[in-house]
């Protein structure tokens, strides 16, 4: 299996996530990049956009140039609403598999997609043929699907910290407060236009309070792990650094549970996982050690309120929160070691 080559196309190649994805795949021993697609800069070398990419790769082309008969897997890093249209066109005509890094297949309810993304879903019949995949949670189940919905960056950092604890009933599902700070790359390449007059490169900026689209994922996924209805507050912020997310999650232990039991459960759950590190209690972590990696670091800390526990979760939003998890999902789909191309 290790010698098997996967013919790959990347569509949406020149954004922050697309470039990180190409960089990772260019070093993956099983990835054979056949097409690099974008709407602009046709004919340019991808090295023009990212000097880290040393391998000679196909020049940028439009997606209509793809020979779908030779492509095993397509990564889509497109604006919300575009991937669903393309997958709908190709799904039944070809055996190609898809890993979608947009929100198009993250929500299992098309009505909720319209509520949060303000547009109708054009491939409703394919939603139940897709799998929302945090790699550490899905395992072998992923091989049964041809459409993989890569989770959002904030939900990845949050779910990795919370889901094992909710599943075991160790924390109160109605008393969760989440404060997540992200580098400005999380807002995309046109972040300066989005946050015009906000002085985003030298200030902390709250945004999406009460209505950030990633809440739709959290609503859907967290409840899968709790017998009791989930209630949480989620506050995201952009801070003046390029990449990385640090989520500060305040929880309360349920009766007869405490910080030690929470720590031991996370250590047990992630014992065999290569990308998750659970630190000793009260370790003060940051994003510095996860930048440019597919790792998630978690720390459980005491607070001045004896009823509250702080869980810190740090990831790189462009890697574990996007491109790295996409490659990890590819590895699971094809039976490669999860760490292939990521260590």
Per DSSP, the residues of 28-81 read -TTEEEEEEE-SSSTT--GGGT-TT--S--PPEE-GGG--TTS-SEEEE---TT
**How many of the other CB atoms lie within 10 Å of CB of 335?**
12
> 219 and 134 share a domain?
no
Q: Which of 157, 156, 148, 10 is nearest to 78 (CA)?
A: 10
Residue 202 has pLDDT above 90, yes or no: no
Confidence check: pLDDT of 190 > 60: yes
| 302 and 328 within one domain | no
DSSP 85: H
Please tell me whether residues 141 and 188 are part of one structural domain.
no
pLDDT at 131 over 60: yes
197 shares a domain with 130: no
Confidence of residue 343 (pLDDT cuts 50, 70, 90): confident
pLDDT value, residue 195: 72
Active site annotation includes 153: yes
| Residues 88, 166 within the same domain | no
Residues 158 and 146 both lie in one domain? no
Whether 286 maps to a domain, the answer reads: yes
How far apart are alpha carbons 258 and 269 in whole angstroms? 17
Predicted local confidence at residue 261, as pLDDT? 98
249 neighbors 158 (Cβ within 8 angstroms): yes
Q: What is the pTM of this model?
A: 0.95
Structural domain boundaries, residue 173? 154-317
What pLDDT was estimated at residue 196?
67
pLDDT band at residue 139 using 50, 70 and 90 as cut-offs: confident
Q: Is the pLDDT of residue 211 over 70?
A: yes
Q: Which of 40-54, 199-213, 248-262 has the lowest mean pLDDT?
A: 199-213
**Which of 217, 212, 232 has its CA nearest to residue 165?**
232
pLDDT given for residue 2 in this prediction: 54
Residue 264 has pLDDT above 90, yes or no: yes
Q: Name the catalytic one among 37, 153, 163, 296.
A: 153
Same domain assignment for residues 27 and 111: yes
pLDDT at 1 over 60: no
Q: Are 294 and 340 in contact (CB under 8 A)?
A: no
Give the number of other Cβ atoms within 10 Å of residue 176's Cβ.
23
Q: Are residues 166 and 304 in the same domain?
A: yes
d(CA 76, CA 326): 10
Q: Does 208 share its domain with 266?
A: yes
């Amino acid at each position: 299996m290790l010698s098997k080559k996967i013919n790959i196309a990347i569509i949406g190649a020149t954004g922050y996530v697309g470039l990180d994805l190409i960089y990772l795949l260019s070093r993956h021993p099983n990835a054979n990049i056949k097409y690099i697609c974008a709407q602009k800069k046709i004919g340019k070398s991808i090295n023009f956009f990212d000097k880290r990419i040393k391998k000679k790769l196909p020049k940028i082309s439009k997606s209509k140039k793809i020979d779908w008969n030779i492509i095993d897997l397509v990564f889509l890093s497109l604006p919300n609403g575009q991937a669903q249209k393309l997958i709908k066109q190709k799904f039944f005509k070809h055996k190609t598999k898809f890993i979608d890094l947009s929100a198009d297949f993250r929500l299992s309810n098309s009505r909720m997609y319209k509520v949060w993304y303000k547009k109708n879903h054009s491939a409703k019949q394919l939603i139940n043929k897709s799998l929302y995949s945090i790699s550490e949670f899905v395992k072998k189940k992923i091989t049964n699907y041809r459409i993989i919905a890569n989770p959002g960056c904030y939900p990845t950092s949050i779910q990795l910290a919370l889901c094992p604890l909710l599943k075991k009933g160790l924390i109160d599902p109605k008393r969760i407060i989440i404060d997540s700070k992200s580098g400005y790359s999380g807002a995309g390449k046109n972040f300066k236009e989005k946050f015009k007059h906000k002085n985003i490169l030298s200030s902390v900026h709250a945004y999406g309070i009460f209505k950030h689209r990633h809440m739709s994922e959290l609503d859907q996924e967290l409840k899968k792990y709790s017998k009791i209805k989930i209630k949480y507050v989620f506050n995201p912020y952009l801070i003046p650094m390029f990449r990385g997310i640090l989520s500060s999650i305040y929880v309360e232990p349920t009766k007869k549970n405490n910080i030690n039991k929470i720590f031991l459960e996370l250590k047990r759950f992630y014992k065999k996982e290569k990308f998750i590190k659970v630190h000793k209690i009260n370790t003060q972590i940051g994003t510095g050690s996860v930048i440019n990696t597919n790792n998630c670091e978690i720390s459980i800390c005491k607070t001045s309120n004896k009823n509250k526990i702080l869980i810190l979760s740090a990831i790189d939003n462009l890697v574990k929160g996007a491109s790295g998890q996409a490659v990890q999902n590819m590895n699971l789909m094809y039976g490669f070691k999860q760490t292939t191309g990521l260590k």
